[in-house]
Structure formats: structure tokens, C-alpha cells
A = this chain, B = another copy of it.
Amino acid sequence: MRLTRFFLPLLKEQPAEAQIASHRLMLRAGMIRQAASGIYTWLPLGYRVLRNVERIVHEEQAAMGANAVLMPTIQPADLWRESGRYDAYGPEMLRIRDRHDRDMLYGPTNEELITDVFRGAVSSYRDLPRILYHIQWKFRDEVRPRFGVMRGREFLMKDGYSFDIDSAAAIHSYNRHLVAYLRTFERMGLKAVPMKADTGPIGGDHSHEFLILADTGESEVFLDSAVLDLALGDRAIDFDSRDGLQAIVDQWTKPYARTDETHDAALFESAVPEARRTVRRGIEVGHIFYFGTKYSEPLGARVAGPDGAQVAVEMGSYGIGVSRLVGAAIEANHDDKGVIWPEALTPFHAGIVNLKQGDAEADAACQSIYDRLTAAGLEPLYDDRDERAGTKFAAMDLIGLPWRVTVGPRGLKSGVVELTSRRTGESQELTPEAAVAKVAAIYGR
């Protein structure tokens, strides 16, 4: 993409309304623009990152055996009356009356609707297990929306639901999600730690929140630093193996890791050697939850078991904050100059800065690098504006592309361009061909 053809309205000023780095940087880098309190338009740069998050979530959901559906944003109130949540949900639910005076609502979550889909379609244990998920906009009418996309009112979420014949099968579905989430966040270049969460009146061990560590996180977290050293890496995972998944789950969930809500100071001290006791702040980006027959019972989602008897299905629900992840990734990856994108999320793979736009040799070299990166299957952003070098560097630093190729007449005389890492700031002089090859190799092309 040529920058002159890309709608990228950068802000010079610090936006007064933004209290945290990600909100400030998303506004300044032309990623979002507020439409109303807690409601944002995603501008082209931000939308590209949002799509990357979505794509990775979709791919990892498919890999572990979930089927993608798409439920509507507007739901009938009657379903929520069946589950008893219509009155219980409170003023965060956006309630709507249609032109025929029917009560509707903008879905804040989808347990009722997916259970309705399930009960209308599945009648035998032979059709289980099922995992259905979607990535769809939700609305929660927060009293005080703040922190940009981190606590907005309209937000994009992946929510998934599992249906199983019994508790052992349901725990396997839960483990599928836990491991798929580990892979999802790891692929995004983010360190997200599963932490024991409250299961409420249902009890049991089967609720975890995933938190990304960042100084601006909303929760205080307490953890055994051993969990930070764990990584799935390239290991092949058989999601159908109950024992295999359980072993991975154990590895990640045995070390102490809790938020302030479930923290147990005495246990923390007794279970974790002092040198590994770590207290940080974290941002919640995922939550998985096994809740049994909480919705299948009232909504009548039953199947015939092997013996013919009708059984209410065992369910779980599993969320990832897709739009929130964009903000959380910035909280964990930025400096004074701007965003520093992990390679998996970056809106463009590399920036090309032409130090002397209009110089025939520099223009030709930039175009050639652009074409070669494109031919390698990468998407570069070429700053072809007629602007000073300082302005171009500041823009690249602000929007945070991981790699920048700087092209100028002086370097070209010696046959080189400069390749700069946004994260380390280190530069190296390379021939244009070598710079392209290096960037392609970084992205595995």
C-alpha cells in the first residue's frame, strides 16, 4: 500500500480524553475514531490489526475442532426470560423495543441463543460433542466507558459454546479451549497466563481467565514466575487426545497464578518459592468456563443418551476479547514514540521510507523493494509522501511496523539501504536484495 492512497489520519497532539497508552496511541496513530461514548469506528490501520486478531482466532478454533457460526446482534427477549436472565442482567443490557412493540435486546453474550440453536437441531448423544463459536459485535452499556477499545460499549468478541453428553467429555472440551487459547495468544506474540477464576455457586476447578501482563492492567496478579517460561512452541497437538491435552493443561495450571479476586496469600507463600513469587498487573483477554446444565436445564436442551433416557447436555462457554486484544497488545508493546507491533499482528509487514521522494533513483529503488516484498506475499506500507525524513520516521515509529527499510540517494550510491528494527532500534546497512530477503525470512516467506 502506498501511504498517499491509505487513509491514515495521524494526530500530532496528545488526545486529552485518553488516560492509557493504548487509547492514546490508537487515536494518534489513526487506528480508531470515537463515534459516541465507548463506541468507535475502526479506521483502516486499526481495522487491519483487528482482522489479524480475528484470523488467528478463527484458525486456532478450526484447528481444535470448533465450527464457526454467526449469531445476530439483536436477540428476542423471550429467550432470556426462559433462562431467567432478562430481569437479572441489569442496566448494562441494551434493551430495545421494535416497531411491533416486541422486547428485543442487543446481545451482551449468547448462551441463550446458542442453546436455542442446539436444542432445535440435536437430539442424540451420537451428534455430540459439538463446539460452536462466533466472532460478533456485542454491546454492554457500561456506566463509564473508558480506556478506548479496552472498555467500550460496542466490542468484538469471540464466544464459543461446547455441548457434551457428560462431565468427562465436557472437561475434554474445556481442555481443548484452554490449549487452543494458549496457542492463539502465543501466535499473536503475547504472553497470556491462564489464572484460576471464580466459578461461583457451581464450584469446581474449571474456570480460567487469561491475562496479559502489562503495567496498566486493571487487575493485580500473583504468579509463580515458572509459568512465564512455558511455551507450546511448534509442538504438534492432538486435540482429540484426552490424556495429551490434560497433560498440557496440568503443566500450565499447576503453577500458582491468580488475580486479586481469587488470590490466597497463605497458599501463595507456601506453594511458591520466594524467588519465583511475582506480583504484576494484568489485562483480561479471555475467559473459559464449564457450567454444566445451567442453561440446558431451563432451556430444555436435552438429548437421548445411549440408554435412550433424555439428558440435559453439559455446557461450557469460552470468550476472547477480540477488539480488546488490539488495545491489550499495545499496552504490552509500546514505547514513548508509539506502538511496537508483534509480527503476527502488524497491520503491514514492513514500512518503506523514501528519503527523497521525486529523486528518480530513490523512487525506483523503493518501488523495486515494494514489488519484491509484495511478490514474497508480504504487504509493505510505502511512505511516498513528499515530506521530510523526520516526519516520515516519526510516523513509522508511531504506527509501529516492526521493520523499516529506509532508502535514500546517499545510501544508494554505495548500493545499500537501511533495515531498522522498531523494537530494538538497531539498524543495518544491506543491499536492497538482502533487506528484502531478510524481511521475507523473518515472516517465514
Contacts and interface: CB of A to CB of B under 8 A. Distances in A.
Contacts of A67: 5-7, 44
A117 interface: yes
Interface in A353-406: none
Given A47-B69, A68-B47, A143-B99, A36 B117 contact: no
A120 interface: yes
A220 interface: no
B154 A74 contact: yes
A75 interface: yes
A148 B137 CA distance: 22
Given A33-B120, A99-B91, A99-B141, A71 B7 contact: no
Nearest to A93: B99
Interface string A396-432: 0000000000000000000000000000000000000
> By DSSP majority rule, is chain A's interface helix, strand, loop, or mixed?
mixed
Nearest to A143: B99
A70 interface: yes
A18 interface: no
B5 A98 contact: no
A382 to B, nearest CB: 15
Contacts of A106: 74, 96, 106
Contacts of A69: 7, 41-44, 47
Interface string A124-144: 000000101000010101010
A35 interface: yes
Interface in A18-40: 30, 33, 35-36, 39-40
A5 B98 CA distance: 38
A256 to B, nearest CB: 36
22 contacts: A5-B65, A6-B67, A7-B132, A9-B121, A35-B76, A36-B74, A36-B104, A39-B72, A39-B75, A39-B76, A40-B72, A41-B113, A44-B68, A44-B69, A73-B154, A74-B94, A74-B139, A74-B153, A91-B99, A94-B96, A96-B96, A98-B141
Given A7-B67, A40-B72, 15 more contacts: A5-B65, A6-B67, A9-B122, A30-B121, A33-B117, A33-B120, A35-B113, A35-B116, A36-B102, A36-B104, A39-B72, A39-B75, A44-B67, A48-B68, A73-B154
